[in-house]
Chains A and B, each alone.
Chain A
């Protein structure tokens, strides 16, 4: 998205990864007539335009009115429909926050929220469009399930799995520009079950979303440059949390978490709770947005700025291990 490109909002629809979500939803829609799709003037932006085209009678654009949309989804769920609500993560989790808690979670209704452009992926859209609080907020809602796919393939897996998963769920995705971690959708995926991406004996990096790929690359760098053996876990489900995977990872005596979220309340906070309660007292560090409203820039700039890109995670691990600091020019 550098300067000098000629494109409009329509062209953004053509990104293969982002299309995966839309495609899977259409496939589900064909098999399950109870699936309906709701958006708030973001059908194209959140990639449900195809669902709207194929199933116009099951698609509802509520205009720019997220609160009404969210609670109307609850009403639809009460009639046996399975609503998929698509809007930016910031507006799903925060504009319609009480609606999610009181109307979806409290009665435990079958509504799936797909929060797109989450984390810092809206880059220069700034704080009003960033969602670095959504995991923390939604994690405190009883009955809620929260998944953060690592890439487009995992988004497809999550959407597929969500169809038979009971209760409200928040599926947090990025903008669609994110690189792939997996090579296909050909792997075991279970909501609530972390995926081990890499073995390691000196420490474990527990990551979610875009940070999974960065963590894998950082682990490779640590191995190559420093002879440090770092394991990586893809904690794609933030709630219910895979405690066993965390306790197993704690065997390495050192854990680093990485997430595109405020370090308060999200993945790092959740992992810390498990470690503390188990009385483990191991070395521990949370990487993420350090409780500030982000500066602006392209997402890659922001990942580097808040040290959740490859170099940032690499440096964070070295710091926790008490290794010498590496001076870097940029960011």
Chain B
């Protein structure tokens, strides 16, 4: 773990504060980048913070540490969402992102594992991550390793058949060392998931594929900690999916639950308003 908090209460306070700091950085990054996948970047902040600060066995000073837990951002368009978290926990300095999205920058919309420290797999084409997780988990098992693999998926992404091929195989191969996390923000590009391509009954689908399921509020740090501090035993045969109910555009009044903010840019006025909205979150 990458924090010094003494107890749960302190940890929750710490992570909640970080969630505001990181969201502010996301907003600023979208300005720097000239636009970005802001909505889905803001919906996964608490999930990422709990994972990177507290759950994952990682060393930002040694990003390729052999026995590290692996984290795959299957919703690879979350580049502006994850990079500020990686810098916050110390993989690189904020200043590295000053040319985000610009010519020759290592940082683009979709993170490249060969350019961004802390990224375990290059992603961006949806529906690949869970299969990567299957391969990683088999690799770990074969080599008697006890590190885990975590894969963060979008809910729209779960339209892809490949997600369900991966789900079927994870159970078949008994990969309890694999955990899927779904950022269930209920929106995709063209509209609500329920209108574009319904995935409900969602939890039942995972159950039918033989997975263990947990459904929580993905912005509730306590709930996230409860689930991830109590993962199945590493030799479990049953993979776990954590469905996190979230709000796309979380924290920004004019973005929350608004489809078109899947991708957008900000001018001075909207940036100011967004940062103001986030500051208000501090006292809640």
Task: Report which A residues bind B (CB closer than 8 A).
Answer: 1-10, 39, 41-45, 61-65, 67-68, 90-91, 95, 124-129, 295-298, 301-302, 305
In the complex the two chains form, what is the Cα distance from A97 to B239 in whole Å?
A: 31
Count of CB-CB pairs between chains A and B under 8 Å: 127
Q: CB-CB contacts of B103-140 with A at 8 A, as 1s and 0s?
A: 11100111010000000001111110000000000000
In the complex the two chains form, what is the Cα distance from A2 to B105 in whole Å?
A: 15
In the complex the two chains form, what is the Cα distance from A59 to B205 in whole Å?
A: 27
- Known contacts being A41-B188, A125-B108, A297-B104, is A63 close to B159, with CB within 8 Å? yes
Are B267 and A6 touching (Cβ within 8 A)?
Answer: yes
Other contacts beyond A295-B104, A296-B104: 12, CB < 8 A: A4-B267, A5-B267, A8-B263, A10-B260, A39-B190, A64-B160, A67-B161, A90-B125, A125-B109, A128-B76, A128-B110, A301-B103
B-chain residues with CB within 8 Å of residue A7 when the two chains form the complex: 35, 264-265
Task: Report which B residues bind A (CB closer than 8 A).
Answer: 31-35, 76, 101-105, 108-110, 112, 122-127, 156-157, 159-161, 188-190, 193, 196-197, 260-270
Q: Which B-chain residue is minimally distant from A298 (CB atoms)?
A: B103
Q: Which B-chain residue is minimally distant from A12 (CB atoms)?
A: B263
Are A64 and B188 touching (Cβ within 8 A)?
Answer: yes
Are A68 and B161 touching (Cβ within 8 A)?
Answer: yes
B148 CB to closest chain A CB (Å) equals 25
Are A296 and B108 touching (Cβ within 8 A)?
Answer: yes
A125 CB to closest chain B CB (Å) equals 5
In the complex the two chains form, what is the Cα distance from A331 to B109 in whole Å?
A: 21
In the complex the two chains form, what is the Cα distance from A65 to B198 in whole Å?
A: 12
A-chain residues with CB within 8 Å of residue B157 when the two chains form the complex: 64
A-chain residues with CB within 8 Å of residue B123 when the two chains form the complex: 128
B-chain residues with CB within 8 Å of residue A302 when the two chains form the complex: 103
Are B270 and A6 touching (Cβ within 8 A)?
Answer: yes
Are B104 and A6 touching (Cβ within 8 A)?
Answer: no
A-chain residues with CB within 8 Å of residue B125 when the two chains form the complex: 90-91, 95, 128-129
26 A-B pairs whose Cβ atoms sit less than 8 Å apart in the complex: A1-B34, A3-B32, A4-B31, A4-B265, A5-B267, A7-B265, A9-B264, A39-B190, A41-B156, A41-B189, A41-B196, A43-B190, A64-B127, A65-B160, A67-B161, A124-B33, A124-B102, A126-B108, A128-B76, A295-B103, A295-B104, A296-B108, A297-B104, A301-B103, A301-B104, A305-B103
A-chain residues with CB within 8 Å of residue B193 when the two chains form the complex: 63
B71 CB to closest chain A CB (Å) equals 18
